[in-house]
Amino acid sequence: MNNNYQTFSYSQVLDAFSKLNQLVPFNIYEAVVTRLAVGVVIEEDAQKAYNEWKFYMGKPPKPMYEKNKIYGSKFHLNDYYIKAYDKTFQAQCKDKINIGKPYFRYEIEGKTKFFNNKTNNVGITTVADLIDKIKYKKLCDILINRYQKIEKEAQVDLSKLTIKEKRIVASMSDFKIKESIRKQHPHTYKKERKIYLKLMRDLDNTDFQNKVFYKLNTQIQSSLNN
């Protein structure tokens, strides 16, 4: 599982901690967890998947960089991150691992207080909690439920647009610019938004996003039940 690009099951998690406990000079199960990352990897076009992320709880994603190249998207929130990236590219850059297939990784990383808040209520304090089957399932549920809450939007083929249409798409796709136009130039905003919505109306990313969600959920359920 080097560079966490391979799939794993709940039983493998149990086995991994059991072996680790034999190698360290303390009881691994009593170790306090202060930060946690929960993620899943599927075979999919990562760039297409994360490029369609638009907003989460009203916030736009920020690009993730590796060697001056954008390879993912990330939402910065209080106490946690939601991110997705090209795992194939990252594995090659960081560990010189050639996966040979297009892999997409989606994950949530955060402080334990995020996973233990009133909404999530997982109850993670020590490593022992990570191998509790009920709590493991709660983490799986958080992972897939948060993905559903991300607003996604199909990408326009810019090569087919006029320069004016490209500028409108650019301004409407940037949250800060869009809000600035809306507040300071409401008439222009209303007119250009109509053009933007017309351009987007014929785009349909439902099939692709349904496929991505199905793959993510299938992999998560497989990990939970094996």
Average pLDDT over the chain reads 93
What is the share, in percent, of the chain residues with pLDDT greater than 70?
Answer: 98
Whether the Cβ atoms of residue 138 and residue 122 lie closer than 8 Å to each other: yes
The CA-CA-CA angle for residues 88, 141, 132, to 5°, reads 100
pTM (2 d.p.): 0.80
Whether the Cβ atoms of residue 209 and residue 149 lie closer than 8 Å to each other: no
The pLDDT value given to residue 2: 62
The pLDDT value given to residue 7: 86
The pLDDT value given to residue 157: 74
Q: Is the model's pLDDT at 88 over the cut of 90?
A: yes
Q: Is the model's pLDDT at 1 over the cut of 70?
A: no
Top pLDDT among 108 and 67 is at 108
130: enclosing H helix or E strand = helix 127-130
The β-bridge partners of 126 are 32
| Residue 1: strand, helix, or coil | coil
User: Average pLDDT, stretch 149-176?
Assistant: 87
Q: Is the model's pLDDT at 103 over the cut of 70?
A: yes
| Residue 177 CA, distance from chain mean position | 24
The pLDDT value given to residue 175: 87
User: Buried b vs exposed e over 192-204: b needs ≥16 C-beta within 10 Å?
Assistant: bbeebeebeeeee
| Residue 81: strand, helix, or coil | strand
Confidence of residue 112 (pLDDT cuts 50, 70, 90): very high
User: Average pLDDT, stretch 12-17?
Assistant: 96
